[in-house]
Structure 1
Amino acid sequence: MSKLIEAVRRGRIDDVVTIVNGMTAAERRGELPALKALRKEFRDAWVTPQLQAASPALLMAGLACQSGAAAVASWLTASGWERMWVAEKRFLPMLEERPAEWLTELAHRISDRRPSTDIRYHLLEAIVQAARCPMPVTDASVHAWIRNIYGNSWNTDVIAERLRQSPYLTPMVAGLFTAGGTGQALNSGHSNKDNPWLLALARLTAEGTLDRATMVDGCLGRLLRGGTAVDQRVFHRLLLDLDLSAEEHAGHAADWRALAADALQPVAVHAQSVLAELALTGSLPTHDLADMTRAVLTRPEKNLVRAQLKLLDTVATRDTATADALLPAASHALTHEDTEAQERALKLIERHGTHLTDAASREEILTSAAPIAPGLRTRVVEALGTGAEEALHAAGEDTLPPVPSPVALASPPASATETAEETGALLASHGILPVADFERTLDGLVRWAHEDRAALLEALEPTAATRWWSRTCRRPLPDDSVPSAFAPSHVRFTPRLALDLVLAGLHQRITPRTAKAVLDGGGAHAGCLPDGPFRARFWEIAHRLLTDPQPFLLSTPSWDNGLLEPGELTDRLKTYQRLGAHVGACDFAQALLRVRTTDRAAAETAAERAALLGTPEGQRLADWLRTGGLTGTVLHRTVTDQTTPVVRSGEITALHMFPLAFRELGSPALGSHHRCWCAATTAVQQTHWPALLPEHPELIALRLIQHVLPCAQYPEKDPDVCSVLPLLAQSPGASGPATSLVVAGGLGVQRQEDRIAAVDALLLLAAQKKLDPGALATDLGALMLIGIVTPSRLAESLGTAASTGAYRTVWTVLRDALPPLLSKDLSPAESRGLGELLTVAAECAERTGAQGVIPGLDPIADRRGSSRLVSQARRLRAALAGT
């Protein structure tokens, strides 16, 4: 141990200075490795009195032995120095002896550190003063200055005095407006109103210590730049504390217009009030007011939009000549989501429309009114006096989304390498696995395991090395037990885990006896259908890979929706017969459930060919195709407790000859809103369910009811639970009561993303003419009455559907869903959101020209007051009466 290291360990800083002064530059550099090692040792050790004494000595030794400014900056700003103040009085004179250029570089190196670095501002200030250079203004230096000014006092008077004494006050205050995160640093846990920093800055500005124009420009510039809510609130408060005059407001009118358009709501409200004052005093040109109005009316905040329309009304009343500029701008509120804003804009046009003189202004107003409801558009036309011929055209058919056409699966992977690459890509991806990619890759694994197992294993080596089972299951478990993740009780048997099971079987990490035992238990699923058939199919594949690899899978679908063409399945059975391959029971069962039976001509042709094969499987396929598969499957909607909707299915005898896991699909079932604690609780699993029974989506919807409906009451139950609904709606099979009930529940779940998925399903069903509006309305009415679906969430969902152009579809649903709710004596809590639902209904009725009477509407419309519920009930009644 050198003398220097010994002095450092003993904490003798005077000895360190003496030893260093007697060393050459080369000797100092030679000590650096030992000093750095000691620094690491100290950083990792517990803080003791000995370490506290040694730390200043180590800091001093390191600074003396470093020669470059960058190295000194890193050493000086490192974290964890103890009792740094002890070393400061020693190393500051030593640093000040360095050349000015070197000190300038050191100051910049220190200032360029991250803002979170513990920079001692007074040290930086001393270095800058010694270098006689400008103070570097960076994020780190500004944050260090803020901490230094704060010190241990949050008193406004103390902070103001410290600011006055700061030698670099002007550049550092300018840095407050440019450095990142200074709003948070200035916030310091105070409410903005009594923040000592902000009050001190305002005081120094008022007394002239700080330049007022610079402060005002800095605040406005920081607000225009945007940033976090904390930043915006702090600098907005500082701007308020500066108390701008009317002349200063007018001089920054452009900045206020930009803030009114894009800033956070509190800042935008302030900007709007400033501009309103300028407009009312004649200091804001009319064209600037119109431009600012167009921007404000695109904002979602109702208070901003309504206040802006009120301002326009006041200005237009004072000076009728402004109508040509202001009314076209006000017309942009006609399509705002706030119906009250729409009505105010319409009344504004009606009140001042006679003062319009410019044809271009009239044209812009008519263009803005084009998307709105026919009745409202007629009022606009009448207000403009352009004649009835300009009125709205008759309501047309709904605009519904195009139904995606099924896509044929691509050819199987052409090589073992391609199969391995696609397997690795699927396992490394996140989220939902597309059925087509998943099934094609699975078939590729089976094919190449049969054709060239060695080549496939070699190609899979990089992927297998990253999988958990390659580390935890290096060999089959000695008692033939199932690895825990593959165990039947595992509740997350996702498609990726299914691929892992296949790969584990391929690599012989489970035994044939284990796989056979699970299969004999029906796939041993955890009680959730159709999770059982899904599991059983993969356990059979793993078992076959261990015992008798298949040439390919019979059940691979022809299309991405899960359908399998009957002629293609017949060809596969013929190939199996030629190769003498054994047909897997679960594989064949899945193939039968996927085979298309609705194309009777193709089914009869394939049945004749299958019967000629002379095999048991060929005859079963022929019989299945001739009888139409799962024919006679009927589901019934009923109610329990006189109000709760449920869907029941009877026993499906056509599944009696299927393996146990598939046979359970045919057992009697009940779909209700009661919570289901089953294995498959994720969208990753459920999105593969429709492809299991593509011609019978009702059997899938029946099992989804108990997943979807609870999510209207328990938001964390099944995230993304409704992502399966659009796939279910696209299934080629017919929909029925189960689909209606599960979509009804989806429209009212708590997560917005799930509600949007349910809206997509609703629109897809309507586009295929598979939607039963009456059944959906009945389910929605019942679910609202028992509190599972709330009117507010349903209003948002159906409003979204209507905004896509499906006004007629939404109206036919609401027409029958509203009466049970309107006729009930609802408490204030139960009626919350009903006004929004009536808003959607009124909008749809106006756009479609619907007429008639809604039971229960008149008593609400006849109430006193102008609440949203009452006003929208009157609006709906007027629309249905054609007035």
Structure 2
Amino acid sequence: MVPRSAWIARLARPLIAAGLAELPTGPAFAKSWAELHAMAASEMKWALWRQERHNGTPEPLPTGSLVEELRADPVLPEALSAALAGPGVIGILERHAVPSWELGPAVAELVADGHLDRSRILADAFVALTRQDTPSTRKGIAKLLAALDLKGPDLAERMPLVQGLLATSHGSVTAVLLPAAVETAHADDLPDLAATIFARPEKAQKTVLLKALTGPHAVDRWGSDAVTIALKVAADVPDQAFADRATKALTALGVAQEADAEAPLSDLWAAPLPVNDTGPAAKIEPDEPGLAAALSRIIRSTTAADGAVFWDAIVRWSARSPQEVRYWAWSANQSLGDGVRPPSALWAVVTAADVTAKTHKTLCDKIANGVHAPTDWEIASLSLTGAVHEIFASETTLRLGTIPYLLSTPTQWNGLLSFDTLVDRLKGYGRTSAGPTDLFLALLRLEPTPPERTTQLDGLSLDLWSPGSTWRTAKHTEDAVDLLRQWIEGGGLPKLVTRHDGATVTVEPVRLPIDISLIPGIPAGLLAGHTSGTHREYHEWAIRAETGFGIVPAWPDLLAAKTQTQYDQAARHPPRWLPMMAHAPGPGLAVQHDIAATLCHADEDRRLLAVDAALALMGRGRWDSTAYTECCLHLLNDGVLRLGRLGHSWEQLILAGGLQPLWPTAMTVLGKASVLERKPAALAELCGVLRRYVSAVPDPQIPESVLELAASKGSSKARVEAAAFVAAAAQGEGRS
């Protein structure tokens, strides 16, 4: 459905047309204008869906078309310019597009009728493409340019801008720009154009440029030198068949083929660059300047510890000046604006009046009893770690002004808490009781601690807090130190046991050293592990660093398993949590599974995020080649290991220093793919990538199936590339 803010444009347009008001310059009007015109398209879209879903049940469809609506719009030229200038605005129309309600064809018809200025639209569209925007907006602008029949003369004065767009834009945009760019490119433009296009992943666009370079009039148009430079770039792509076409064209021009440059062993066959495992958590001063600076940083980039440290600063400031905290929190929350999620501590102070002992007990009961009713969506929609955090937030909000600090605040940026610091905090509490959920979080975050260190707890005792005499807690020990001692002597936080179940990852249930019924409200599901199809899975947008990785930092595999369906080939959301998984204290099989899936995702930016995550694991010494190989083989058997995309990711890993830990997996995957009766798509491209770097490997250990494929008869791309790979390996062994 379309948001209700369409009323802004509905109200403003007649006033603007009558000269009683000027066109608003802020982003709200452009967004409202797009939503207004998307409303009928949305109705049409859902009506068509209902017809299809209900076996063609007759239903009256909305009448009219987008071109009719736009033709009647009194502020169309200015509003369309504002829409193109507004981030995410064109995407509103694109997401609801159906036949007769697509922006591109509608605008093209209005341009043909003289209602719109084509040159103005093109200028606005090119400016819009220079900003980071939503995928739907980029796609909508690309369709608009295609509908306007973009030609070479349209780009003649914009080639520097177009070169930048071709290098940075999504494939849907470059597919529209490239033919016109080729049409208008001069000899001076050609080398840069070739370097950009032949480095991109889209084969169709490479073919467009190669066809132009090998055309009968290419040399006459651009000159022999420019064409030769461009063809040499084409001859160096990993796709051997494509490179052969470029090499053949070079030979026809009388250019001798140059030998490939050798990859120095010292540069590539080396240990990955080390990565810092952890470090001290950022400190936040408990006053207005300190919290304001921290807020500015946290809403843009956060670690697993930042949310908890922010809570601690709020608690410390509240113990000293509760009125100042409330006033600052209210004004700071107002200044954030729409669409910005504040740290939970800030929101807790703003809404503190809504939290009572009664609401706290009700919250604990609902979560502990496993409420899943749609009527209580605020509780049912919480993740398990999010539920624990919700209880903590309620408990701490109730106690603001009465406790000096929190026990559970991490000391490391990866979310872990040192034992010595926890002991000092317990000693400093004096007669103040410990919050049970605060203590539970301290246990979950506690660094591995030898049992013999519990002697540091001798003589300590600290009551557990409860919000009133009516609170009922089964088997209440009433002593926080006893629970801490039990935790350490019982081995602390257990390590998760993970395994593959087909193409998915399963996490086995665990038992904690303490009885969690002693902590009011903690959901038993937190310990139930995860099995796909049995346990609920999470969407990435439902996870936050503070309420996810920050709760049990040493269990990244649990969240990795519960979000694993978000890392398939059709994932809509960027894998923003991969870096945090890779830097977590205990990454295991589930984390490597998510990285493995994302390394062959359709979107290049997402693949590069996975490359960074893999390099982090390698640099920390936490990369498990056996586990990664297992993940790849499961994905291969399930038909979702896209070898072409994987080759691109592996090349980035190799160039960044990951050749040594990656090679065992590469050979296993290549061997398994080569033995299949029906060879996977892009097997040839993967061979081509590895061929470029096999000479850097001291002992490549080529699988027998690859040798057999290389020696087989036929002219398939896979066989040709396998033969070239084996030959390159033999040359490398001869040099060594």
**Mapped contact 1:680–1:686 kept (Cα < 8 A):** no
- TM-score, normalised to structure 2's length? 0.65
Match of 1:646 in 2: 505
**Mapped contact 1:638–1:646 kept (Cα < 8 A):** yes
Residue 594 of structure 1 and its aligned partner are, at CA, apart by: 1.3
String of CA shifts for 1:137-188, please: whole Å, max 9, x gaps. Answer: xxxxxxxxx9999579xxxxxxxxxxxxxxxxxxxxxx999x5237999xxx
Match of 2:673 in 1: 821
Match of 1:445 in 2: 314
Residue 790 of structure 1 and its aligned partner are, at CA, apart by: 3.3
1:590 aligns with 2:441: yes
Counterpart secondary structure, 1:806 = helix
Q: Pick one of 702, 710, 713 that aligns with 1:853.
A: 702
Q: Pick one of 424, 427, 431 that aligns with 1:571.
A: 424
Counterpart secondary structure, 1:630 = coil
Superposed counterparts of 1:440-839, under 5 Å: 440-463=309-332, 496=342, 498-499=344-345, 502-504=348-350, 506=352, 508-522=353-367, 526=380, 528-545=383-400, 549-577=402-430, 580-597=431-448, 607-615=454-462, 616-625=479-488, 628-631=491-494, 633=495, 635-639=497-501, 643-657=502-516, 659=519, 662=522, 664=524, 667-672=527-532, 674=533, 677-678=536-537, 681-682=540-541, 684-685=543-544, 688-694=547-553, 696=554, 699-709=555-565, 711-712=567-568, 714-716=570-572, 719-720=573-574, 722-733=575-586, 735-826=587-678, 831-839=680-688
Counterpart secondary structure, 1:689 = coil
Match of 1:296 in 2: 194
String of CA shifts for 1:618-676, please: whole Å, max 9, x gaps. Answer: 34434544554225x3514254xxx445334243242435626557366342344x496
Match of 2:179 in 1: 266
C-alpha distance 760-785 of structure 1, shift in aligned 2 (>3 A)? same
Could you list the runs of 5+ residues in structure 1 that have no partner in the other structure? 1-39, 48-54, 63-112, 119-145, 153-174, 186-225, 240-251, 276-287, 357-364, 370-375, 379-390, 469-491
Q: Which amino acid in structure 1 is aligned with residue 647 of structure 2?
A: A
Higher RCO (CA < 8 A, seq sep 6+): 2
Q: Which amino acid in structure 2 is aligned with residue 709 of structure 1?
A: T
| Separation of aligned partners in 1, 2:613 and 2:294 | 30
Residue 783 of structure 1 and its aligned partner are, at CA, apart by: 1.7
Q: Which amino acid in structure 2 is aligned with residue 770 of structure 1?
A: R
| Separation of aligned partners in 2, 1:260 and 1:758 | 27
Q: Which amino acid in structure 2 is aligned with residue 534 of structure 1?
A: H
Residue 839 of structure 1 and its aligned partner are, at CA, apart by: 3.0
Counterpart secondary structure, 1:637 = strand
| Separation of aligned partners in 2, 1:260 and 1:446 | 53
C-alpha distance 737-443 of structure 1, shift in aligned 2 (>3 A)? same
Residue 737 of structure 1 and its aligned partner are, at CA, apart by: 2.7
Residue 782 of structure 1 and its aligned partner are, at CA, apart by: 1.1
**Mapped contact 1:777–1:817 kept (Cα < 8 A):** yes
Could you list the runs of 5+ residues in structure 2 that have no partner in the other structure? 1-10, 21-73, 80-108, 126-141, 167-176, 199-204, 371-378, 463-478
Q: How well do the aligned residues superpose, as a CA RMSD in angstroms?
A: 5.1
Counterpart secondary structure, 1:556 = coil
**Mapped contact 2:436–2:520 kept (Cα < 8 A):** no
| Separation of aligned partners in 1, 2:274 and 2:390 | 34
Residue 555 of structure 1 and its aligned partner are, at CA, apart by: 0.7
| Separation of aligned partners in 1, 2:731 and 2:426 | 65
1:306 aligns with 2:210: yes
C-alpha distance 176-744 of structure 1, shift in aligned 2 (>3 A)? closer
**Mapped contact 2:360–2:395 kept (Cα < 8 A):** yes
**Mapped contact 2:643–2:681 kept (Cα < 8 A):** yes
**Mapped contact 1:183–1:234 kept (Cα < 8 A):** no
- TM-score, normalised to structure 1's length? 0.55
C-alpha distance 395-500 of structure 1, shift in aligned 2 (>3 A)? closer
| Separation of aligned partners in 2, 1:355 and 1:680 | 54
Match of 1:840 in 2: 689
Residue 408 of structure 1 and its aligned partner are, at CA, apart by: 2.3
String of CA shifts for 1:188-238, please: whole Å, max 9, x gaps. Answer: xxxxxxxxxxxxxxxxxxxxxxxxxxxxxxxxxxxxxx9983598455489
C-alpha distance 460-851 of structure 1, shift in aligned 2 (>3 A)? closer
Match of 2:42 in 1: none
Match of 2:723 in 1: 874
| Separation of aligned partners in 1, 2:493 and 2:346 | 32
Q: Which amino acid in structure 2 is aligned with residue 296 of structure 1?
A: A
**Mapped contact 1:647–1:671 kept (Cα < 8 A):** yes
**Mapped contact 1:741–1:779 kept (Cα < 8 A):** yes
| Separation of aligned partners in 2, 1:756 and 1:227 | 27
Counterpart secondary structure, 2:402 = coil
Residue 804 of structure 1 and its aligned partner are, at CA, apart by: 2.8
| Separation of aligned partners in 2, 1:556 and 1:862 | 62
**Mapped contact 1:811–1:845 kept (Cα < 8 A):** no
Match of 1:480 in 2: none
Considering fraction of residues, name the structure with more helix: 1
Match of 1:17 in 2: none
Percent of aligned positions that are identical: 20
| Separation of aligned partners in 2, 1:309 and 1:238 | 21
**Mapped contact 2:304–2:545 kept (Cα < 8 A):** no
| Separation of aligned partners in 1, 2:427 and 2:537 | 39
C-alpha distance 332-823 of structure 1, shift in aligned 2 (>3 A)? closer
| Separation of aligned partners in 2, 1:184 and 1:634 | 53
| Separation of aligned partners in 2, 1:754 and 1:531 | 26
Which one has a bigger Cα radius of gyration? 1
| Separation of aligned partners in 2, 1:743 and 1:511 | 43
Residue 403 of structure 1 and its aligned partner are, at CA, apart by: 1.8
Q: Which amino acid in structure 1 is aligned with residue 310 of structure 2?
A: T
**Mapped contact 1:776–1:813 kept (Cα < 8 A):** yes
1:397 aligns with 2:281: no
Superposed counterparts of 1:71-470, under 5 Å: 116=77, 180-181=120-121, 229=145, 233-236=149-152, 264-271=177-184, 292-293=190-191, 295-300=193-198, 301-303=205-207, 306-307=210-211, 310=214, 331-333=232-234, 335-336=236-237, 338-340=239-241, 342-343=243-244, 376-377=260-261, 396-398=268-270, 400=272, 402-404=274-276, 406-415=278-287, 417-418=288-289, 421=292, 425=296, 433-463=302-332
C-alpha distance 514-467 of structure 1, shift in aligned 2 (>3 A)? farther
Residue 818 of structure 1 and its aligned partner are, at CA, apart by: 3.3
**Mapped contact 1:841–1:876 kept (Cα < 8 A):** yes
Residue 420 of structure 1 and its aligned partner are, at CA, apart by: 6.3
| Separation of aligned partners in 2, 1:331 and 1:730 | 41
Counterpart secondary structure, 2:499 = strand
| Separation of aligned partners in 1, 2:279 and 2:620 | 17
C-alpha distance 350-563 of structure 1, shift in aligned 2 (>3 A)? farther
**Mapped contact 1:537–1:586 kept (Cα < 8 A):** yes
Residue 563 of structure 1 and its aligned partner are, at CA, apart by: 1.4
| Separation of aligned partners in 2, 1:687 and 1:460 | 18
**Mapped contact 1:335–1:342 kept (Cα < 8 A):** yes
Match of 2:55 in 1: none
